[in-house]
Amino acid sequence: MIKILDGRDASTESERQHGRAGTTSRGGRSRRAFLASAGTTAALGVAGCLGSGGDTVKVGFAVAQSGAYTLLGESVINGFKLRVEEELDGQLGGRDVEFVSQDTEGDPGTGSSIAQEFITREEVDVIVGSISGAVASAMRPVIEDHVDDLVWLCPVGIGWQWPMDTPTDDVSVSCTSTQFITGDAYYQPSAPMADFAIENLGDSCVLAFADYSAGYQYGGLFRNRFEELGGDIAGEVPVPVGTEDYKPYLQNVDTSADFVFGMFAGSDAINFVKQFHETGLHEELDLSGVGFLAEADALGAQGDAAVGTYSALPYTPGKDTERNQEFVEAYQDVNDREPNVYACTSYDAAQVADTAIEEVGGTDANDIADVIPGIEVDSPRGYFEMTDSMPYHPVQDVDIRRVVATEGDAPPTNEVIDTIERVKAPFDCA
Amino acid sequence: MSAHPVLAVEGIDTYYGRSHVLFDLSLEVGAGETVALIGNNGAGKTTTLRSIMGLTPPERGRILFRGEEIQGCKPNEIRRRGVSLVPEDRRIFPSLTVAENVELAAAAGSTTTDVYDRFPVLDDRRDQRAGTLSGGEQQMLAIARGLVGPPTELLLLDEPTEGLAPQIVEDVSEVVEALTDDGITILLVEQNAELALELADRAYVIETGRIVHEAGGDELLHDPEVLETHLGVR
Amino acid sequence: MVGFEALVRATILGLQFGTTLALLVAGLTLVFGLMDVINLAHGSLYMLGAYFGVTLVDAGGSFWLALVVAPVAVGVVGLLMEVFTLRPLYGREPLYQILVTLGLAFVVEESVKEVWGTSAQNFAAPAVLAGSIDIAGVTYSQYQAFVLLFTTVLVAAIWVGLERTNVGVLLQATAHDPEMVDALGFDVSRVFTGVFAVSAVLAGLAGVLLGPARAVTPSMWFNVVLLAFAIIVIGGLGNFRGAIVASLLVGLLTGYAALLVPSYTELLVFALMAVVLLVRPAGIFGTATGDPG
């Protein structure tokens, strides 16, 4: 098929934003293909004077593709590409897309030099990444020097840090005018659990968390909200990142509390949940945590030990909506596995970029930054809208899920049992 | 087979890394002979024994044991054919007991010679750690270890009296003589030229990796020129 | 104030963690002691044990079958590794062996990703050990108690075997002076291959035993190698007894630190390593002398 070079097809703004819920991806693609070929003649007519080089969108993935975050990095790339290649004919905002990707290895130094290379050598229009918050922190100053040149989409890592024990209302974070968070902004997978827990689990909680900045931050936001609602933190159990044997740490859990709030991700979440179960703590306390504690990827490895775990996250792969099922099926068709939350937030990053580039009619970073605030996105997680002020992030519903066993040999799965609506992170820019 | 000498070293060149240590070196040891290899420090005596044992294989030349080439064989194969090395500095296993040292060596072959008869001093110390033995006792243990295991036809003795008190040197000499009497062929490396020449039937003088002189033991012992120029003895 | 009961519990948990570590470092320290090879692929062999366990249990085999078959399979992998990649490098600078085993670790990681994918895998502990028991106020799953018992017996058996058996004497002698052992008539290269394969079997065994309690992921080898390496440094490189005692020491340190100063646990382990290196560079049980020239 001949690509349209000047980037406009006939679909309207409202179709872009709302039309696809309900249509299958296959249907969306063929309609687009039809429109594309219909527009070919006209497009070819002007291609000569518009030029082609400047009209492609170059997207650079700066994500981990090795080490502990491998799966997360792959999910980000796959989610973004699913939207672009399967549903948008390889285009964003009607412009052909060129992808480059580099492995940050989860290392801040590497991340920073990749950002540098993407900007100066590759001249990308959009950076997607990173996975780790520390890598994002290292990339921020490099990107900040080039806010006029590119847009920074963050489906996972954000690069925020604030001192431990900061009251939530006093949290101020690093903001970059062209940074757009499409995942969670720390607040959403943590604090809403407090609202659910105080009603349903009890008012005394032990906080167990990975002993690094994100652990303190997610944990702190939960604690602040929980205390604000009248709950009591009966103890804190920090555990080093990458710990294999949690049992020596779990001895510190005060079993007279009502429940535990855990902040662990990746293989830490698997080890923690398995060993929480193995030491019999599950018989004395409920286990709750940030969404990553019982993420779809982890459940297979956690097995039955995860059953009964409560967690909060804006996206749940098993969410029973047509829009989500369509996304899950499409993702599975291409990648042979279920999408996780990062696949979804990265897919949404592609949606945001598509909408913005189309509306602006170009890739000027400042113009894009003008249009993204306030846009509404039809995400598999449900509609969300981007905040209209910095830090730009989704105002979104948060699912409270409970892990339930499934029939047969299949791993347990998350069931959405409650929804906390329209959650926004109450942060100011530093 | 008896036509062959027990050991024939034919024109070997041996290197340690890039440094050339033995130059076209040849020597022979006949059945039942005790042959000494004498020379100054660094002349290549130990290297010659290491080459024969396969520890530092020569790059050129041949080494024949009972007429068969062994220069490409691994040390353990050479040992099982009947060549046994009692190395410089003894290299016993200090954390093992005397009995363990002996039993370990014996386990590599079938010889069950009762070495404790030959070395009564070891008999009393079977359960003592080898590292706690005196120098002379350690030397006896090293020789004992060289005699058990696969049957030993050629014994390579490297500086057996080094660092020992005169009385002990005499004990070691007696052991070497007794071994000769039992028909074991010996190639003896010694810095103590006088002692070596007394014990040996014949001797080779080695200097910077080359054999420079060969003669009967007595002959060398009474050749003032050899004593002075090659051994620095006056 | 920390109560007496809490200290007892920390001690038990620490010793239990220590035995796990002992199982992980036993093979590593044997290989280093005999062959002077720092096998950075040791954690990879551990990981392969866990993944073979996953596959065998998934394929319908019982856990007990996996406990036997997976370590043997890992042993075969170890044997091939030694024969084809390490053997040509003996006698060279240690740097070559470090590089080749590190390379192998990455090869194994990538192969695991190809075969099993990047997401974490799981296999269940045997159903007969699903219950739990209380020991001195600590709740153990029966499986955990089984692992503790099994590991203790195994490590003790290796220890005694090294001290008392003929093979043990051969290994001690080889560790001290491999060239001399060869000159006594033993094929040392076969001893090396055998020890490396046994070391791989031990690592594989650890993988199957610990797999059900841990995340089985393509990167699980890394932390294991890091910690195991710290332990053999503390114990005295290549010193088996030292490594076992150091494992228990690090286990106890972790148990107490997790109770008293949890944020500093990892720091303390590596600080212990640094202190040992400064004060006794040969390790707590190492000797500066006795190495073959």
Cα–Cα dist A255/A204, whole Å: 10
Residue A322 pLDDT exceeds 90: yes
Q: What is the CATH number of domain B1-81+189-234?
A: 3.40.50.300
How far apart CA C229 and CA B30 sit, in angstroms, is 53
In this predicted structure, the answer to whether residue C288 has a pLDDT above a threshold of 50 is no
Count Cβ atoms below 10 Å from residue C149 Cβ, excluding itself: 11
Round the average pLDDT of chain A to a whole number and report it. 85
Residue A8 predicted with pLDDT over 50: no
Q: Is the pLDDT of residue C292 over 50?
A: no
Nearest CA distance, A59 vs chain C (angstrom) = 24
Domain covering C4-117+126-279 in this structure, CATH number: 1.10.3470
**Residue from A425, A339, A413, A414 nearest A380 by CA:** A339
Whether the per-residue pLDDT at B232 is higher than 70: the answer is: no
Residue among A157, A140, A136, A50 nearest A96 (CA): A50
Given a contact cutoff of 8 angstroms between Cβ atoms, the answer to whether B133 and B63 are in contact is: no
- Name the most confidently modeled range: C234-238, C255-259, C262-266: C255-259
A215-to-A155, A262, A263, A296 alpha-carbon distances in Å? 18, 9, 6, 20
Q: Residue A392, SS3?
A: strand
Of the segments B126-140, C84-98, C261-275, which one has the largest average pLDDT value? Answer: B126-140
pLDDT, residue A157, reads 87
The domain A13-45+55-184+319-392 is placed in CATH, from the list 2.20.25.90, 3.40.50.2300, 3.30.1120.130, 3.40.50.300, at 3.40.50.2300
Question: In chain B, which residues touch C (CB < 8 A)?
Answer: 53, 55, 74-76, 79-80, 85, 87, 89, 91, 93-96, 100, 103-105, 107-109, 131, 145, 149-150
**Nearest chain A residue (CA) to C6:** A251
- Nearest CB partner across the interface for C17, out of A245, A302, A304: A245
**Average confidence (pLDDT) over A43-57:** 48
Instruction: Using the predicted structure, report yes or no on whether residue A335 has a pLDDT greater than 50.
Output: yes
Cβ neighbourhood burial of A257 (10 Å; 0-12, 13-18, 19+): buried
Whether residue C238 has pLDDT greater than 50: yes
Contact B193, B233 (CB under 8 A): yes
pLDDT at position C1: 53
CATH superfamily of the domain spanning A191-313+398-429: Response regulator (3.40.50.2300)
Q: Which amino acid is at A111?
A: G
Q: What's the pLDDT score for residue B230?
A: 56
* Reported confidence tier of residue C289, pLDDT bands at 50, 70, 90: very low
- Measured CA to CA, the distance from residue A349 to residue B212 in angstroms comes to 86
Contact A6, A50 (CB under 8 A): yes
User: In degrees rounded to 5, what are phi and psi of residue B59?
Assistant: -90, -25
Task: Tell me the two tokens of residue B221.
Answer: 């012992």
Which among A347, A320, A285 has a CA at the least distance from the CA of A413?
A320
For residue C286, what pLDDT is reported?
A: 67
Distance CA A374, CA C6 (A): 54
CA atoms within 13 A on the CB side of A149: 16
pLDDT in tens, A379-429: 999 999 999 999 999 999 999 999 999 887 788 999 999 999 999 999 989
Tokens of C57: 């249990």
Distance, in Å, from the CA atom of A58 to the CA atom of A150, rounded to the nearest integer, reads 10
Single-letter code of the amino acid located at A173: V
Reply yes or no on whether the pLDDT at A101 is more than 50.
yes
pLDDT digits (tens, 9 = 90+) for C183-213: 999 999 999 999 999 999 999 999 999 888 8
What is the arithmetic mean of pLDDT over C246-258? 92
CB B94 within 8 A of CB B135: no
> What is the per-residue pLDDT for A407?
84
How would DSSP label each residue in B5-67? -SEEEEEEEEEETTEEEEEEEEEEE-TT-EEEEE--TTSSHHHHHHHHHTSS--SEEEEEETT
Type of residue numbered B217: G
Buried b (16+ CB within 10 A) or exposed e, C31-70: bbbbbbbbbbbbbbbbbbbbbbbbbbbeeebebeebbebb
- Backbone phi, then psi, for A23, in 5-degree steps? -90, 150
A33 close to A339: Cβ distance less than 8 angstroms: no
The predicted-structure confidence for C143-168, as pLDDT tens digits, reads as follows 888 998 999 999 999 999 998 899 99
CB atoms within 10 A of CB C72: 14
Query: How confident is the model over C116-149, as pLDDT tens digits?
Result: 887 788 888 888 887 878 776 677 778 888 998 9
Token code pair at residue A404:
């339930």
Residue of C184, C186, C190 best to disrupt the B interface, most CBs of B under 10 A: C184
pLDDT for residue C9 is more than 70: yes
Q: What is residue A317's three-state secondary structure?
A: coil
Asked if residue A16 has pLDDT above 80, the reply is no
Alpha-carbon separation of residue A47 from A11, A57, B153 (angstroms): 20, 16, 94
With a threshold of 0.90, tell me whether the complex ipTM lies above it: yes
Could you read off the pLDDT of B197-218 as tens digits, one per residue?
Answer: 888 999 999 999 999 888 876 7
What's the confidence (pLDDT) of residue B113?
62
Residue-wise pLDDT for B86-138, tens only, equals: 999 999 999 999 999 999 999 998 776 678 888 888 999 999 999 999 999 99
DSSP assignment of A89-123 equals: TTEETTEEEEEEEEE-TT-HHHHHHHHHHHHHTS-
**Which residues in chain C have Cβ-Cβ distances shorter than 8 Å to A268?**
215
- Residues A250 and C140: their CA atoms lie apart, in Å, by 12
> Can you tell me the distance from the alpha carbon of C27 to that of C72, in angstroms, rounded to the nearest whole number?
14
Task: Answer yes or no: are the C-beta atoms of A327 and A347 closer than 8 Å.
Answer: yes
Residue found by looking up tokens 């054919």 in the block: B81
Q: How many residues does chain B have?
A: 234
For residue B185, CA distances in Å to A26, C33, C138 come to 91, 36, 69
- SS3 label, residue C3: coil
Element (H, E) at A417: strand A413-423
Put the strands of the sheet holding B68-69 in their side by side order: B19-29, B7-16, B60-65, B68-69
Res. A327: pLDDT tops 70: yes
Which residue ranges does chain A devote to CATH 3.40.50.2300? 13-45+55-184+319-392, 191-313+398-429
- What confidence category does residue A278 fall into, taking pLDDT thresholds of 50, 70 and 90? confident
Taking the C-alpha atoms of residue A95 and residue A91, their distance in angstroms, rounded to an integer, is: 5
CA–CA min distance C166, chain B (Å): 7
Between A18 and A424, whose confidence is greater?
A424
Q: Is A182 helix (H, G, I), strand (E, B) or coil?
A: coil
Mean pLDDT value across residues C65-83: 96
| pLDDT score recorded for residue C2 | 67
- What was the pLDDT predicted at A303? 87
Q: With contact defined as beta carbons under 8 Å apart, do A232 and A204 qualify?
A: yes
- Chain C partners of B100 at a C-beta cutoff of 8 Å? 169
Token digits of residue B1: 């087979």
Chains C and B touch (3+ CB pairs under 8 A): yes
Any idea what DSSP says for residue A16? I
Cα–Cα–Cα angle for A309, A310, A315, nearest 5°? 120
Kind of pairing, strands A172-173 and A428-429?
A: parallel
In the prediction, which pLDDT does B39 show?
Answer: 87
Measured CA to CA, the distance from residue C178 to residue C37 in angstroms comes to: 13
| DSSP symbol at B70 | -
Average pLDDT over every residue of B70-83: 94
Instruction: Extract the runs of DSSP E, i.e. beta strands, from chain B.
Output: 7-16, 19-29, 34-38, 60-65, 68-69, 83-86, 154-158, 185-190, 202-207, 210-216
pLDDT at A17: 41
Read off the pLDDT of residues B12-66 as tens digits, 9 standing for 90 and up: 999 998 899 999 999 999 999 999 998 888 899 999 999 999 999 999 999 999 9
Q: pLDDT tens for residues B153-183?
A: 999 999 999 888 888 899 899 999 999 998 8
Q: Which residue has the higher pLDDT, A153 or A242?
A: A153
Q: Nearest C-alpha of chain B: how many angstroms from C4?
A: 42
Q: Return the closest-CA partner of residue A417 out of A312, A343, A340, A305.
A: A312
In the predicted structure, residue C45 carries a pLDDT above the cut 50: yes
**CB distance from C173 to chain B under 8 Å?**
yes
Domain boundaries, chain C: 4-117+126-279
> Within A145-295, where are the H helices?
191-200, 213-228, 247-250, 266-278
Q: Do B93 and C166 touch (CB under 8 A)?
A: no
Confidence check: pLDDT of A26 > 60: no
Among A245, A266, A301, select the one facing C122 at the smallest CB separation. Answer: A301
The residue behind tokens 């007519």 is A45
Q: CB neighbours (10 Å) of residue A2?
A: 11
**Which residues lie closer than 8 Å to C90 by C-beta, 6 or more apart?**
C35, C189, C192
**Alpha-helix residue ranges (DSSP H) falling in chain C:** 4-35, 42-58, 63-81, 94-116, 142-164, 166-176, 178-183, 188-210, 220-235, 240-260, 265-279
Distance CA C262, CA C46 (A): 27
Cβ pair C101, C39 in contact under 8 A: yes
pLDDT at A336: 86
CA distances from C141 to A281, C54, C138 (A): 11, 20, 10
Chain C residues whose C-beta is within 8 A of a chain A C-beta are 6, 9-10, 13-14, 16-17, 20, 113, 117-122, 124, 132, 138-141, 143-144, 210, 212-220, 222-224, 227, 254-255, 258-259, 262-263, 265-266
Domain extent listing, chain B: 1-81+189-234
Which residues of C fall within a CB distance of 8 Å from A294? none
Nearest CA in chain A to C21: A245
